[in-house]
Amino acid sequence: MKIMISIPAQTLELFADDGTLLRRYAVSTGANGAGEENGSFCTPRGKHVIRAKIGAGQPENAVFVRRRATGEIYTPELGAAHPGRDWILTRILWLGGKEPGYNRFGSCDTMRRYVYIHGTPDSVELGKPGSRGCVRMRNADLLELFELVPAGTPVEIVA
């Protein structure tokens, strides 16, 4: 399997080993566009891999902080009580870069930048950039994807 994320199209596509398109999902990538530098809040381009899958067994809308479930379940009321919080919900697919000097090591390391594919509140608009560099997905879509892909799945992000 392979995942292809298109920043211009704001889509995530899952392909079988033979190249057959299995799924296509709407996503939201970085509001600041594409870029690899630490602190840029941009979505990193290039070849990546799913380094870790986090959140198996957690309920849909489970809230994560620093890759740990907080015990909270996101609701619109919780969102209203914490405006401006970057909600990481349901599951995390933690990405690691594979290209030294571009998205791995030094000041451009995707994994050390904590770039994830993660769930987001249903009220967040997908199909347009809006994240802080991560790839946001609908929670139901992420639950499906999480079950389909193993750790080590290649991910390519194109701009």
What confidence tens digit (pLDDT) does each residue in 74-110 have?
Answer: 999 999 999 889 999 999 999 999 999 999 999 999 9
Domain boundary assignment for the chain: 2-158
What confidence tens digit (pLDDT) does each residue in 6-42 have?
Answer: 999 999 999 999 999 999 999 999 999 999 999 999 9
Cβ 90 vs Cβ 143: under 8 Å: yes
Q: What is the pTM of this model?
A: 0.96
What confidence tens digit (pLDDT) does each residue in 105-154 have?
Answer: 999 999 999 999 999 999 999 999 999 999 999 999 999 999 999 999 99
pLDDT computed for residue 84 by the predictor = 86
Angle at 80 between CA 139 and CA 127, to 5 degrees: 40
The DSSP line for the chain is: -EEEEETTTTEEEEE-TTS-EEEEEE-B-BTT-B--STTS-PBPPEEEEEEEEE-TTPPTTEEEETTEEEEEE--HHHHHHSTT---EEEEEEEEEE-SBTTTBSGGG-TTTTT-EEEE--TTSPPSS--BSSSEEE-HHHHHHHHHH--TT-EEEEE-
Is domain 2-158 given the CATH code 2.40.440.10 in the classification? yes
Nearest to 89 by CA among 112, 128, 41, 122: 122
pLDDT computed for residue 65 by the predictor = 96
Tokens of 40: 């840029």
One-letter identity of residue 121: P
CA atoms within 13 A on the CB side of 97: 25
